[in-house]
Amino acid sequence: MKQALQAFVAVILFSAPCSLYSQGAPAEKPRVLWIAAHPDDLDYTAAGTMATFARQGAQVYYLVLTDGGKGSEDRTMTPERLRDIRREEQRAAAKVLGVQDVFFLDTQTAR
């Protein structure tokens, strides 16, 4: 279950996503929740699409399932410091793309 959860990357569109491409003005802004296992997954997969959605007026949010505290080759790196660095990087990248907010579930990264 844990591995399945960490391998899970999905884009969920809700609140009338078709209005992103319709001619008429939508009643409310479409919202997009993008879910990924690790902090940097989001920027390797569909960042351009998310930026486009944001530019078209959608409210885009990220949900990162794990804490990102593992995976560094640096032997002096602690999981806590790596987690904090990746969080900061993820928030900075999201801001550039026009993402409204980033949420972290803090499930421990396996490996």
| Residues at the interface with Zn ion (CB under 5 A) | 37-38, 41
Distance CA 102, CA 111 (A): 24
CB of residue 41 to Zn ion, shortest distance in Å:
4
Closest to Zn ion by CB, 65 vs 99, is 65
80 closest CA partner among 105, 104, 101, 108 = 108
Distance CA 34, CA 80 (A): 24
Closest to Zn ion by CB, 30 vs 39, is 39
Closest to Zn ion by CB, 37 vs 97, is 37
Distance CA 12, CA 100 (A): 15
Find out whether 98 and 47 touch, Cβ atoms under 8 Å.
Answer: no
CB of residue 109 to Zn ion, shortest distance in Å:
9
Q: What is the DSSP letter of 57?
A: T
CB of residue 23 to Zn ion, shortest distance in Å:
38
Closest to Zn ion by CB, 60 vs 65, is 65
Q: Looking at beta carbons, which residue is closest to Zn ion? A: 38
